[in-house]
Structure 1
Amino acid sequence: MFYHLLYPLHDWFSVFNVFRYITFRTFYATLTAGLLVYFFMPSFIAYMKGRRLGQVIREEGPERHQVKAGTPTMGGAVVIGAVVLSTLLWANLANPYVWLALGVLVSFGALGLVDDWLKLSRGKNLGLRAREKLFFQALFTLAFWGVLFHGLHFDDRLTFPFFKELRPQLGFLYLPFLYLVVVGTSNAMNLTDGLDGLAIVPFMVVVGVYGLLAYLAGHVKFAHYLQIPYVPGVGELAVFCGALVGGGMGFLWYNAHPAEVFMGDVGSLGLGAAVGAVAVMVKQEILLVIAGGVFVAEALSVILQVGYFRLTGGRRIFRMAPLHHHFELSGWPENKVVVRFWIFSVICGILALSTLKLR
């Protein structure tokens, strides 16, 4: 909105020329989203406490988590609202990639909202069935794919880190691949969101990496110099990513141990899907495995645990899955698990960015 209202004034007042720059608008989208969450979250927490709408803790989890029962949840709704408002204020609203990213964020967030509400209304950690979630996630992903490839005629070639000449064309196979990226990232973040502050910092690291990648991929000179796919217009997603980082910072203020509010499925499903969608649009889907190493490890721990349990008739690889519970039951204090996962996520982000020069 500011881009459309204020940038045209640069012909009379040169100071308004700053609204032309994606970097300037990204910085202020970050600050705007962060401040919105910071100022509105206390009211949301008070409302949830007044209505006695608190987190339901699963019984099979570590016993120490039972003291967190009743902590206000669904804080991700405030984050998503702040991200949407900040993006609308600072982004170029004529850019279709911005609307696609917002559409994925809101649709997956709405699904998580329904799941959270069912859990709260039933008083049990039992929301939507897995197949119901997957059905709607598939539906939203199909809509995203349809607009991206049939509306915008998007490139269906795949990009691999380290191999600049390897760009296979997937054709119709891109749809299941896109589903794996978007839905996989959404559910992986949902699995990671199990300790105070655990999911939000790796999320900010990943979205920060992809904000930079979006800016580079949308800049023809940088893209050609770094030998990454040039996607005209995708640089505007840096503003969206900045808003995500800012919303995450505001949320962390209240989610740091001991957490005053939890993200809920509305946050984890929506924010995770948004990252997956951005990875697709900047043509760096495979790199998400490196940048999102924490989410990958958490998801793999669940897959391996369930698979091994079924194959061996009840034996386990980990003390408990997802992986952060394994370390908790191994004797690590919650804060130590969280901070070490943060460190690992930063390392993964650095490794992901280093691939820009290793091609």
Structure 2
Amino acid sequence: MIFLINKCLNLKIFNMIFFRIIFSLLTSFFINLFIIPYVISYFKKLEKFQTIRIDGPIAHLDKNNVPTMGGLFIIISILLSVFLYCDLYNTYIWYVISIVLGYGLIGLLDDYKKIKFNNSTGLKMLWKFFWLSIIAILVIYIMYFNEEIKISIKLIVPFYTSIDLKLNYFYIFLSYLVIVGTSNAVNLTDGLDGLAIMPVIFISLGFSLIAFFSSNIDLCNHLNIFYLFKANELSVLCAAIAGSGLGFLWFNAYPAKIFMGDVGSLSLGGALGIISILLHQELLLLLMGGIFVFETISVILQIIYFKIRKKRIFKMAPIHHHYEIKGLSENLITVRFWIISFILLLIGITSLGINNVI
């Protein structure tokens, strides 16, 4: 909106991408900071609280009086910032918004069923997976065959260089795995107060920086990234995600006053996945999102090992629950995971220019 008004009034300050990045972050931050306290009070009056797993850590039973579905307001604040500061003629923006809204709707239905029927099951896993897949494939199909974008089938390898891959239609499947996989990985990680949202903030800031670099051909020549002239608007969108996450973390940090629910974790994970594809940074997402990878692998290993040996590798999966049951405090686990996530962000950003040094 402001971007379009600026086009009419020709105000130079609004042409500055740096201005729009900063104000996008601040706007989404203050929207959540202002609106979420009212949401918490309203949900408490309705007595619509998070449904806690009976087989989970005993300490989590105290969270039964904490409202959920806070991710709905993460989405709202992101969209408001995007509509205010992004160029809405940029097709990259609409691909991300489509995933955020589609996955947010699935998560919202999942959270609603959990609250309505007072159980932690929600949507059946098969149906959730089906609708996540349908939305991802539809968006990727449109991207892949959009002649305006012409997505090149290339991957950027951290610490090395870009490689050409003759994937053809398999690229659709690879992109599908990135979007659905990241969405579910964030969902699995969202098990402790503030645990999932901080890595999302770090990765969003990293992608915002990469998107900013990607639209500058001179910087691309010195870094291990592709020149993408439309990517600068993604830097504004990523800033909106980071700002919204910070505003939500204000109330989600231990002890949490509200949870994001599946509506938040699925949509945010899907957004990170689609952004990594647009920037050709799918492998960098694996590196910077190492916490999400670690949590997902722990679940996969637990399931496979139990089916084969009828024993558990971890006391409970995802692995953050394993550490809880071993006696580590929730806050300690969360902060240590944040530290690891921040280090992975720094390593990921550093890897962009390392091939030009060695």
TM-score (norm 1): 0.96
2:228 & 2:152 partners in 1: Cα distance?
9
CA distance in 2, matches of 1:227, 1:282: 12
Offset of 1:21 from its aligned partner? 1.9
* Whole-Å separation in 2 of the counterparts to 1:122 and 1:285: 38
Which of 265, 269, 275 is the equivalent residue of 1:268? 265
Distance in 2 (alpha carbons) for counterparts of 1:237 and 1:180: 21
Q: Tell me how far apart the structure 1 counterparts of residues 92 and 101 of structure 2 sit (CA, whole Å).
A: 14
Give 5+ residue unaligned stretches, structure 2: none
Alignment of 1:196-345 (within 5 A): 196-312=193-309, 314-345=310-341
Distance in 1 separating the partners of 2:166 and 2:283: 14
Show the 5 A alignment for 1:107-118.
107-118=102-113
Q: C-alpha displacement at 1:7, in angstroms?
A: 3.9
Which of 81, 87, 96 lines up with 1:86 in the alignment? 81
Structure 2 Cα separation of the partners of residues 21 and 94 of structure 1: 17
> 1:6-85 to 2 correspondence within 5 Å?
6-10=6-10, 16-85=11-80
Residues 75 and 226 (structure 1), Cα distance of their counterparts in 2 relative to 1, 3 Å cut: same
Q: CA deviation at 1:227?
A: 3.6
Instruction: Give the letter for the 1:127 counterpart.
Output: G
- Deviation for aligned residue 1:6: 2.0
Aligned residue number for residue 168 of structure 1: 165
**Partners of 2:74 and 2:264 within 8 A in 1:** yes
Quote the Cα distance in structure 1 between the aligned partners of 2:18 and 2:93: 15
1:4 corresponds in structure 2 to 4
Q: Tell me by how many angstroms 1:98 deviates.
A: 0.8
Q: Counterparts of 1:165 and 1:29 in 2: how far apart (Å)?
A: 31
Q: SS at the partner of 2:282?
A: coil
**8 A Cα contact 1:158 1:283, kept in partner:** yes
Q: Alpha-carbon deviation of 1:165? A: 4.8
User: How far apart, CA to CA, are the structure 2 residues paired with 1:48 and 1:35?
Assistant: 20
For the 8 Å contact 2:162–2:224, the answer to whether it is kept is no
Please name the residue that 1:13 is paired with: none
Distance between the aligned counterparts of 2:235 and 2:46, measured in 1? 37
Question: Aligned-pair RMSD on alpha carbons?
Answer: 1.0
Runs of 5+ consecutive residues of structure 1 not aligned to the other structure: 11-15
Task: Spell out, residue by residue over 1:196-249, the C-alpha distance to the aligned partner (whole angstroms, 9 max, x if none).
Answer: 111111110111111111111122221122142112201210000000000001
Residue identity in the other structure for 1:8? C
Q: 1:107-146 alignment to 2 at 5 Å? A: 107-146=102-141
User: SS of the counterpart of 2:169?
Assistant: helix
The amino acid of 1:194's aligned partner reads G
Judged with a 3 Å threshold, the aligned counterparts in structure 2 of structure 1 residues 309 and 234 are, in CA distance, closer, same or farther, namely same
Moved more, 267-276 or 207-216: 207-216
Q: Deviations over 1:324-355 (max 9, x none)?
A: 01111111111100100000000110110110
| Number of residue equivalences | 353
What SS does the aligned partner of 2:311 have?
A: coil
Retained in 2: the 8 A contact 1:7–1:17? no
Q: Give, in whole Å, the separation in 2 of the partners of 1:255 and 1:108.
A: 21
* Shift >4 Å, 4+ stretches: none
Letter in 2 for 1:134: F
Partner of 1:171: helix, strand, or coil? coil
1:159 shift after superposition:
2.1
